[in-house]
Amino acid sequence: MPVPNNNAAFARKGSNVQKVPGAKSTKAATKKKDEEEAVETGTGWEEWSQGKALVRPPDQMELTEAELKEDITRILTANNPHAPQNIVRYSVKERSYKPINVVDQMAVHCVLEGSLVHQDSEEARKLRVKEGLAQEIATVDATAESEEEKAEASVNPIVDGGDVEETGDEDRPDSAVSRINKKEPKVTNQFNFSNRASQTLNNPMRDRICQTEPPPRSSFSATANQWEIYDAYVQELQKQEKNKEKQKGMHSQKDNGKSKKVMLMETQSEDVTKWTMASKILERTISQNTFDDIAQDFKYFEDASDEFREQEGTLLPLWKFQYDKAKTLSVTALCWNNKYQDLFAVGLGSYNFSRQGCGMLLFYSLKNPAFPEYIYPTSSGVMCLDIHAQHSHLVAVGFYDGCVAVYSLKEEGQEPVYKSTAKTGKHTDPVWQVRWQSDDMDNNHNFYSVSSDGRVVSWTLVKNELVFTDIIRLTLSGAVSEGTEGAQAPSIASGTSFDFHKQIDYMFLVGTEEGKIHKCSKTYSSQFLETYGAHSMAVDTVKWNYFHPKVFVSCSSDWTVKIWDHTINTPMFVFDLQAAVGDVAWSPYSSTVFAAVTTDGTVHVFDLSVNKYEAICQQLVVDKKKTKLTHVEFNPIHPVIIVGDDRGYVTSFKLSPNLRKKPKAKKGHELPKGPEVEVAKMEKLLSLLREPDQNSG
């Protein structure tokens, strides 16, 4: 393929662009030379012009004619893609955070502070004045410089041809001036694009402002002067006198026979009573922090040394409950609440009959050992109490003066909701035991009481009064029913304790001051079902076993604790504790475990399945030798016992693992559970002591 002579083409192109001085003289010569060269290269010119084509890049897309003619529309908006869309602001009016719909879309890329001023303004006038002065100065300087240049020119003449060269530079085609003035041709686009632009209207910004009313304010100021303090004391004294008059009026209404509930006089102001519950919770929290180490022992501590003692166990002291106003009183009764297992009641009175006075009923919680939960002062010493199993807010109390009363923890005030009087059949001697029983046919609550006057009385809660019914009268010769009449009055036997059977509702046991135990029935009151010659002194406590229906335990001041089968007249087990026994209690988790307390300050814990002859734990639990233990009770769930003494203190102890040991299961056999297992365990012990004919019967 012949190659065109590009040098000639470039020469022609250059001849058209370049402007050289004296070009007119050489124009004819160049034209003639071009004609000669054109004759030589005429054959290759057509091929060169035909081979000229567009060169496509290798990555260019190949589009059809329809695709090339298709219009692709692109809409340009003034929205800022980087503007936030989730701005929220707090609305004081609606009291909530609200999203902002209008967001500023303007993005500032460059900010230039301009120097333009309005021509009619004062500032422009000042600038013109300044510019006029500057021009005058410049003209003066210019005239001075021109004079100096003329003087230099006269000394140094200009070389010929200098101006011609300067003007020649401006007219040269390759100079910078010619390049600036020359416009480059617009490059044609390979695709068919059409650019369309439109200017949209942005929504104007709106500011919303909401003004709220300021919260109300009040300025308070006062001065504490001597007369103001005096007036405050006078008002307080007047208020106390009014409360005393109200209390006297209530007592007068009660003496007239109008039985109304006596409310507690307000000893605190109304502002303080509002914070009673909060302060109680705070007090309990502080108390738990104070006794945290004891609480940890109560939950988690197990005496590891029991593994090396074989059968013996120990008692771990926990909390000690005391009330300053009850230091001179003795603990005469203890009872756990079956619904709230951390709550127990304490009856305070005196066993010294020559020094009788007031008493007190207290309720303590394991969660706050520092102070009682409820306090009920009584005019007579409390001798016994019992908490209702289903209605845990009802508490039956027996007093030294022969009265019985029912307190309700739901009621405000320190007076009982029910109380017996001489008109309503109260006892004439101290009441030694009270026990709640199941409701009667009319769904009325009722409880029983026994006293030294020989009466076993049923008390029924009817509306606002106690209705009594004599169940049986105890005599030395036998039982006497309520309706019997004789010419000779029988000698009365003093009842000291009693307990009702756990499964058989009508059967109950009564211990007397003469040392005998009578098995009685509610429905058959003319005589005793059985009489046991139990002790040589007064029977302090008699209690049925929780599991075995035939077994009960009794204790007395004759130093002995005896285990009985009510079908046999003789005791099955007799334990001599070498001191007067104040109380005995069965454990709720085992049929063979019971605890007893003596007047020498010792707690005795027995487990008949481990040792049938002596206690597996004998521990002195009081500091002073003169302190006598009076009562003991097992917690219904936790392995804890509480012990009361004659100084008004109640101490709690945790049983070590050996005192609540369960039988080991054989390999491959699961350990049986339930009350049947406990019954079988006790029955196995009794079968060893019974005679063959008694076992068969």
358 domain residue, yes or no: yes
Taking only the tens place, the pLDDT of each residue in 317-354 is 888 998 888 888 899 999 999 888 889 999 999 888 88
Question: What is the pLDDT at residue 220?
Answer: 79
Instruction: Give 275's pLDDT tier (boundaries 50, 70, 90).
Output: confident
Range 13-41 average pLDDT: 47
**Cβ within 8 Å of residue 645, ≥6 positions away:** 330, 331, 601, 622, 627, 628, 629, 630, 651
Specify the higher pLDDT residue, 25 or 100: 100
**Encoding tokens for residue 531?**
């009489």
Is the pLDDT reported for residue 307 higher than 80?
A: no
Q: How far apart are CA 640 and CA 335, in angstroms?
A: 13
550 domain residue, yes or no: yes
Q: How far apart are CA 146 and CA 136, in angstroms?
A: 15
Question: What is the pLDDT at residue 641?
Answer: 92
* Look-up of token digits 């003789």: 570
CA distances to 82, 101, 105, 632 from 86, in Å = 12, 9, 14, 71
Question: What is the pLDDT at residue 485?
Answer: 46
Specify the higher pLDDT residue, 135 or 46: 135
CA dihedral 375, 322, 380, 249 (to 10 degrees): -30
Specify the higher pLDDT residue, 384 or 424: 384
CATH of the domain at 393: 2.130.10.10
Is the pLDDT reported for residue 153 higher than 80?
A: no
107 domain residue, yes or no: no
CA distances to 217, 242, 392, 583, 611 from 586, in Å = 67, 52, 21, 11, 16
Question: What is the pLDDT at residue 27?
Answer: 47
663 domain residue, yes or no: yes
Specify the higher pLDDT residue, 399 or 659: 399
Q: 87: left (phi > 0), else alpha (psi -120 to 50), else beta?
A: beta
Range 619-639 average pLDDT: 86
Q: How far apart are CA 10 and CA 155, in angstroms?
A: 49
Is the pLDDT reported for residue 395 higher than 90?
A: yes
55 domain residue, yes or no: no
- Mean pLDDT is highest, among 60-64, 177-181, 358-362, 686-690, for 358-362
Instruction: Give 262's pLDDT tier (boundaries 50, 70, 90).
Output: very low
92 domain residue, yes or no: no
Question: What is the pLDDT at residue 256?
Answer: 56
Question: What is the pLDDT at residue 212?
Answer: 84
Residue 650's domain comprises 294-476+490-689
Taking only the tens place, the pLDDT of each residue in 451-471 is 988 888 999 988 888 888 888
Mean pLDDT is lowest, of 31-40, 310-319, 430-439, 561-570, for: 31-40
Is the pLDDT reported for residue 594 higher than 70?
A: yes
- Count of structural domains, the chain: 1
664 domain residue, yes or no: yes
88 strand-pairing partners: 99
Average model confidence (pLDDT) for the chain? 78
317 domain residue, yes or no: yes
Question: What is the pLDDT at residue 12?
Answer: 40
Put simply, whether the predicted model's pTM sits higher than 0.75 gets the answer no
Contact 89, 100 (CB under 8 A): yes
